[in-house]
Amino acid sequence: VKPDIAIVGIGETPFRRSLPDDLQTLMAEACRGALDDAGLKIDDVDGIADSTGSYSVLHEVLRHLGVRRPVQIGTSLHASPGTVAAPLQAALLIEAGLATTVLAFSGCNWGSQRRGNTGIAHVDMEMKNAFEMPQGWYPQVVHFAGMARRRMALYGMKEEQLGAVAVAARRHAALTGEQALLGHKPLSLAQYCAAPYIAEPYRADDCCVVSDGAAAFVMTSRERAADYNERPVDVLGVGLGVLPMGEYSSLRGDYLRTAAVHSGPAAFAMADVSPRDVDFAALYDNFSGMVIQQLEDLGFCRPGEGGAFVEGGRIEIGGELPLATAGGQLAGAFLLGANLVTEAVKQLRGGCGGRQVAGAELGLVAGYAGAEHATLILGRG
């Protein structure tokens, strides 16, 4: 597959700690924004690249959007990998002649629904109930802290290197303004190191924000893209990866590596580029250490070298590989992926003010969920 499609419109709700709207309303609002941005109407949409993983959420969004005409629905991975891989579903639908204009979206309302009580996620996974929760090996912050600890033991990663990831995200959030949840809360490395632990070695600043909001993007063929409002952003490569052992990270044979070891090479091959060509990236930053892990898994550096890679401002705007240019999920918003795509589109269109990556022509977006990973490579059209 060589995708011949472009992203022609993006939409975002406000990203806040708490919003009054329910999830389907947020998602529908983001979709409306993406259509308006492209100059499209809802009746132009004949395809959905779905990553909700939920019959009820998907069809509530379509009802709220006022979708009346028949639509094709493509779905592959789940949560953020599903959203980041949505352009592959769109390309398949469009190139098969099943659809011309495909919408993708994701959103989250954990800010108002869960308010920090992340213990609810994954309670339906019964082996966690039996073997993990009674041992305090729960929730996600503990799982990911275990990976960070193992990385520290194997590779000598330092807490200051985790801190460099958090500090960069916070600096970029400040440049983003109110569309980043922690845009008003600057963070120095000294402040990071002085903060208390939640689950060693993780502190609050190592963890993604919990937020309300949604984001969406709309795709069509490059040929048609020329007709729409904004400068199109080309889909150059999409890669998907799956690892064994599902959501039980404790059992994974290669405990640290993510499925980015599969999705990355696939995306780079499809786009016919290499990590050296990438101008900026949005790696899946649910926890700071996962940024370091994906830098290695995607080939930006060798295994074990990710900790040193993030030091010295290399991942900050103005550095060699800016990451999380709108604060990512550590300081921007946690919406299961679509906000990482919309920010990459903004960077490639240009005009991001103080957070614009100079000369941005090639951007990479990553989605991760336990066993799954997706890598998306976008290019300035």
Binding site for another protein (CB under 8 A): 113-115, 117-120, 123, 126-127, 129-139, 141-142, 145-147, 149-150, 153-154, 196-200, 248, 250-251, 253, 255
CB of 241 to another protein, least distance (A): 20
Closer to another protein by Cβ: residue 199 or 292 = 199
Closer to another protein by Cβ: residue 126 or 359 = 126
Question: DSSP labels for 347-359?
Answer: HHH---GGGPPTT
Closer to another protein by Cβ: residue 123 or 269 = 123
324-353 burial code (b ≥16 CB/10 A, e <16): bbbbbbbbbbbbbbbbbbbbbbbbbbeebe
Quick one: DSSP state of residue 122?
Answer: T
CB of 303 to another protein, least distance (A): 17
CB of 114 to another protein, least distance (A): 7
User: In angstroms, rounded to a whole number, what is the distance separating the alpha carbons of residues 130 and 334?
Assistant: 29
Closer to another protein by Cβ: residue 141 or 377 = 141
Beta strands in 204-249 (DSSP E): 212-221, 233-242
Using alpha carbons, select from 168, 173, 164, 48 the residue that is nearest to residue 102: 48
State in Å, rounded, how far the first CA of the chain is from the last one: 19
Closer to another protein by Cβ: residue 122 or 314 = 122
Measured CA to CA in angstroms, residue 142 lies from 138, 226, 280, 287, 336 at distances of 5, 48, 29, 11, 20
User: In angstroms, rounded to a whole number, what is the distance separating the alpha carbons of residues 100 and 28?
Assistant: 20
Closer to another protein by Cβ: residue 275 or 304 = 304
CB of 287 to another protein, least distance (A): 12
137-156 burial code (b ≥16 CB/10 A, e <16): ebbbbbbbbbbbbebbeebe
Q: 125 burial class (0-12, 13-18, 19+ CB within 10 angstroms)? A: middle
Please, what is the angle between helix 288-297 and helix 260-271, to 10°? 50
Dihedrals phi, psi of 365, to nearest 5 degrees: -125, 140
CB of 356 to another protein, least distance (A): 38
What dihedral do alpha carbons 226, 231, 236, 238 form, nearest 10°?
-110
Closer to another protein by Cβ: residue 100 or 113 = 113
CB of 244 to another protein, least distance (A): 9
Q: Is the N-terminal amide bond of 20 cis, ω within 30° of 0?
A: no
CB of 130 to another protein, least distance (A): 4
CB of 49 to another protein, least distance (A): 27
Measured CA to CA in angstroms, residue 238 lies from 63, 121, 166, 285, 324 at distances of 29, 28, 27, 19, 19
Beta strand pairing call for 72-75 and 47-50 = parallel
CB of 307 to another protein, least distance (A): 16
CB of 143 to another protein, least distance (A): 9
Closer to another protein by Cβ: residue 200 or 272 = 200
- Over its C-alpha atoms, the chain yields an Rg (Å, rounded) of 19
Closer to another protein by Cβ: residue 151 or 349 = 151
Closer to another protein by Cβ: residue 135 or 351 = 135
